[in-house]
A and B are shown apart, each in its own frame.
Chain A
Amino acid sequence: MIRFENVSYQYPFQTQKALDSVSFAISEGEAVLFTGVSGSGKSTLIRLINGLAPHYYHGQVSGQVLVNGHDNATRDINRIADDVGTLFQDAEQQFFALSVEDELAFAHECRGVGPDKIKKTIEEVVDRFFLERVVDSAIFDLSEGEKQKVALASIVSLKPGIIILDEPSANLDPEATAELATTLDKLKEQGITIVVVDHRLYWLSGLIDSVFVLQGGRIVESGDFSILENDTKRVNHGLRKTQIRDSRKDLPHVREADTTAIEIADLTFAYRNKRLLFDHAYITLPVGEVVAIVGENGAGKTTFARLLTGLTRMHSGDIRMNGAVLKPRALLKKGSIVLQNTDHQLHMKTVRAELEIAAKGLPESERNRRVREIMQHFNLDELALRHPQSLSAGQKQRLVIACGMIKNPDVLILDEPTSGLDGLNMKIISDKLKQLAGLGVCVLVITHDLELIEEACGYQLRLPLNMEI
Chain B
Amino acid sequence: MSNPVRKKRYWQTRELIVIGTFAALTKVASLLIAIAGGGMNPVSLVLKNIVATSLLIVLVYKVRKFGVLTLYALINSLVSLLFLGGNVMALPGMLIAGIVGDGFIMMTGGYKRAWALVLGVGLFDLLSRAISLGYSYLTVREEPRLLIMAAIIVAIGYTGCLLGLGSGLLFVKELRHAGIVRE
Contacts and interface: CB of A to CB of B under 8 A. Distances in A.
Do A and B touch, yes or no (CB under 8 Å, in the complex)?
A: yes
Interface of A: 12-13, 56, 70-71, 74-76, 78-79, 349, 387-390
B84 to A, nearest CB: 15
Interface in B162-183: 174, 177-180, 182
Given A349-B174, A387-B174, A74 B2 contact: yes
Contacts of B14: 56
Instruction: Say which size band chain B's interface belongs to.
Output: 10 to 19
Interface of B: 2-6, 14, 174, 177-180, 182
A75 B3 contact: yes
A13 B182 contact: yes
Q: What is the interface of chain B mostly: helix, strand, loop, or mixed?
A: loop
Sorted nearest first, the 3 A-B pairs with minimum C-beta distance are A387-B178, A70-B2, A389-B178
A156 B34 CA distance: 43
7 contacts: A74-B4, A76-B3, A79-B2, A387-B179, A388-B178, A389-B180, A390-B179
Contacts of B3: 74-76, 79
B180 A75 contact: no
Nearest to B180: A389
B154 to A, nearest CB: 31
Nearest to B175: A389
B160 to A, nearest CB: 21
A193 B182 CA distance: 35
A243 to B, nearest CB: 38
Contacts of B6: 76, 78-79
A194 to B, nearest CB: 24
B171 to A, nearest CB: 11
Nearest to B17: A96
A160 to B, nearest CB: 16
A237 B49 CA distance: 50
A70 B4 CA distance: 11
Contacts of A13: 182
Contacts of A388: 178
Given A78-B6, A390-B179, 15 more contacts: A12-B182, A70-B2, A74-B4, A74-B5, A75-B3, A75-B5, A76-B3, A79-B3, A79-B6, A387-B174, A387-B178, A388-B178, A389-B180, A390-B177, A390-B180
Nearest to A389: B178
A75 B177 CA distance: 34
A71 B2 contact: yes
Contacts of A387: 174, 177-179
A388 B177 CA distance: 10
Nearest to A67: B2
